[in-house]
Amino acid sequence: MSSLNLDDFTDLIERPDGGVRRDAEEHRARLVVPPGSLGRLDDLGEWLAAAQSSVPVRPVERPRVVLFAGDHGIAAREVSARPAGTAVELVRDVLEGGRPVSVLARRLDVPVRVVDMALDCDPASLPEDVVRHRVRRGSGSIDVEDALTLEEAEAAFRAGMAVADEEADSGTDLVVLGDISVGGTTAAGTLVAALCGTDASVVTGRGGLAIDDLAWMRKCAAIRDALRRARPVLGDQLRLLATVGGADLTAMTGFLLQSAVRKLPVLLDGVVTAACALVAQRVAFRAPDWWLASHASGEPGQAKALDRMALEPVLPQGVAVGEGAGALLALPLVRAAAALAAELPVRQELVKDA
């Protein structure tokens, strides 16, 4: 029996301050450019003001990319364009600056943190700060076995919570959340299909490397088989993650919920983070107010999950590479929205009346 009571999050998570959001809307109405003329930037500025509980909104000065990493046993079914157990190669490339997220983060001057939860490699081959939260080596093949034991799921969930606390305590003011995985989109598709009550084909995409038709059919079959194992545990979100999630997805779910507790806003990336957010919403219905859907990746599972949470993507970029790259593209827009809301002057006639 797990000692972790997820029901506590319902009481711990509050919505962003509605009064502050109304104040932000009133402040926006007084600026020199008419309301609506800045499009979605108005909404982003008001969302951020409510999350910060500050009018005018403060600039985003200490963002960080946080990437949870893991290998999934289901990848051995050839559901991914990458060989099973090779997520560590992606992690090394990120750390060495050779992945899209690395390039974008460098240009935007945003630090990148990688958290190994279940990579299939010797932990000694990676830096200590990357591996210190690891729960296990790889996750089980979810079509025929549980991804994790319940004890491992609790450890992964608590690790995600701990990472959220570390970021909040260090002064991070916005998180760009992503994953580094092989087989992770299959686990994510299973979670979305289970929670939305849909068939495997509805949520099965082609991943970051655009798998061919045969691999897509294998992926559909894997999700179908995993769904049979997921449905009996739908009422217990931690057990659901243990059954068909994985250590990285479980940690991300804990991270999202604890970030909402700590009032730390998060930019969601692709289908994997969307699936974790959907699980987290089942735990605490107010939590999605702290998250922003950064972009539409083109993955059907992401679209299904975001629609269920009523989150509208900021960008239509179709970036399916994962690793937080698509989410990082939305960061300049959020920063621009904050700058405009804070620095545009009030209309002259209102200044005179005052």
Residues 6+ apart with CB under 8 A from 236: none
Confirm if 305 and 21 have CB atoms less than 8 A apart: no
Query: In angstroms, rounded to a whole number, what is the distance separating the alpha carbons of residues 259 and 274?
Result: 15
Closest-CA residue to 242 (of 290, 185, 191): 191
Q: Name the burial class of residue 316, with classes exposed (0-12), middle (13-18) and buried (19+) by CB atoms within 10 angstroms of its CB.
A: exposed
Closest-CA residue to 208 (of 277, 297, 117): 297
Active site residue 323: yes
The amino acid occupying position 159 is A
* Rg of the chain in Å (alpha carbons): 20
Closest-CA residue to 75 (of 156, 153, 186): 186
Query: In angstroms, rounded to a whole number, what is the distance separating the alpha carbons of residues 20 and 205?
Result: 39
Catalytic residue among 166, 323, 343, 349: 323
Contacts 24+ apart (CB under 8 A), 19-28: 20/49, 20/50, 20/53, 20/54, 20/55, 21/46, 21/47, 21/49, 21/50, 23/49, 23/55, 24/49, 24/50, 24/55, 24/56, 24/57, 24/341, 27/55, 27/56, 27/341, 28/341
- Tell me the angle at which helices 325-343 and 40-52 cross, rounded to the nearest 10 degrees: 80
Kindly list the catalytic residues.
323
